Structure 1
């Protein structure tokens, strides 16, 4: 089954992967969603109607803009564009159901990719984490496998790292991303930056809300 990347606006692109805004403006306009404006590279939300990412701790993170992706992403694909984005705190949102990872600088998305996650008896943990360590050329002694561009999230080995992101693949709890996307992540994310992992960004137990 191909992943479905759910939109911040609450719709789904079943043919592939998307998060952050309906890439189909007509579909977005037909829904009771925050007011948005479109440019070739970015979808921006009206300041008085910013979507909010709500963490389990009760804290929220507003989203000002997301990447305007014209075609659905699929396994091994990613987008990265930080042009025109002001300096700010870097943080990551992972939506396990949608199988996507989004990287934000401040309130603006600068990168997104399809990601692998933990399956079966070793699921990826949910919650808010901080990057504990960075290892560019890490080799896992436990699984005897390379894990380049590792961003360690937990003391027991859960991490974000570059992987062969393909259909049907999974991990032992880690988050696997395409190699080039992993390099961008490694160069951009620092120790102490936050990673928010949610089960689903929409649906029966939503973590994405709208203000106003």
Structure 2
């Protein structure tokens, strides 16, 4: 059983939610900010002070202006997607292997999160920052008996990708990041070649840069 990002005050709660693993997230109330000109009760807005403190503590390496409120525990196969009123802008993706979550950000706002599958011990998913190298809508694995890998976002030359999967408890991948198929389609339509994907196991872990 895994849950979505927990963030009441970014500097402390984000550190707990994004690096300590499986925790329960209670509902949170949106903190509307006047300078955005719009409000969404389904997200929490972060102050400039919270962002600066999080960056200083190493919790974040880039600005995150808001995150989605996910008021219940997420289970395998669950996802949330809400880009309503979020402006166009750069897209980046964060994958936390320890908490088994993916988060998609656009213009600094989280627009999607899902429970993931990742690589087993003999085929581990690498840590690091990777650009999306290719997008393949109807991909099948050459290595693994033509296994379907819909909505593939390829991250490495040796085939590590984000792709649609039947996300169930007890399953793993051969190093890829498996996400629910409907979520994979939304992510595929949102992401572009060159967008960055940050994969972490825990803060401070050694990362591989592609």
Q: TM-score range by the shorter chain?
A: 0.7 to 0.9
**Per-residue displacement from partner, 1:77-123 (whole Å, max 9, x unpaired)?**
10000011111100000000000000000211000000000011110
Whether 2:72 is the aligned partner of 1:60: answer no
Whether 2:79 is the aligned partner of 1:78: answer yes
Distance 1:46 1:23, change over 3 A: farther
Scaled by the length of structure 2, the TM-score of the pair is 0.80
Residue of structure 2 aligned with 1:192, choices 165, 169, 194:
194
After TM superposition, give the deviation of residue 154 of structure 1 in Å: 0.2
Please name the residue that 2:106 is paired with.
Answer: 105
Please name the residue that 1:32 is paired with.
Answer: none
**Per-residue displacement from partner, 1:53-83 (whole Å, max 9, x unpaired)?**
959xxx9211110001111111001000001
Please name the residue that 2:182 is paired with.
Answer: 180
- Determine which structure has the larger strand proportion and give its number: 1
After TM superposition, give the deviation of residue 6 of structure 1 in Å: 5.3
Please name the residue that 1:7 is paired with.
Answer: 6
Query: In 1, distance between residues paired with 2:81 and 2:184?
Result: 11
Secondary structure in structure 1 of the residue aligned to 2:122: coil
Query: In 2, distance between residues paired with 1:164 and 1:46?
Result: 37
Query: In 2, distance between residues paired with 1:78 and 1:84?
Result: 19
After TM superposition, give the deviation of residue 155 of structure 1 in Å: 0.3
Secondary structure in structure 1 of the residue aligned to 2:150: strand
Please name the residue that 2:31 is paired with.
Answer: 37
After TM superposition, give the deviation of residue 47 of structure 1 in Å: 1.9
Structure 1 gaps, min length 5? 27-35, 208-212
- Determine which structure has the larger helix proportion and give its number: 2
Could you tell me whether the CA contact under 8 Å between 2:135 and 2:151 is conserved in 1?
yes
After TM superposition, give the deviation of residue 4 of structure 1 in Å: 4.8
Could you tell me whether the CA contact under 8 Å between 2:2 and 2:74 is conserved in 1?
no
Query: In 1, distance between residues paired with 2:81 and 2:71?
Result: 13
What RMSD in Å do the two structures reach over aligned CA positions?
A: 2.8
Figure out how many residues of one structure are paired with residues of the other and give that number: 187
Query: In 2, distance between residues paired with 1:60 and 1:11?
Result: 16
Structure 2 gaps, min length 5? 8-12, 33-39
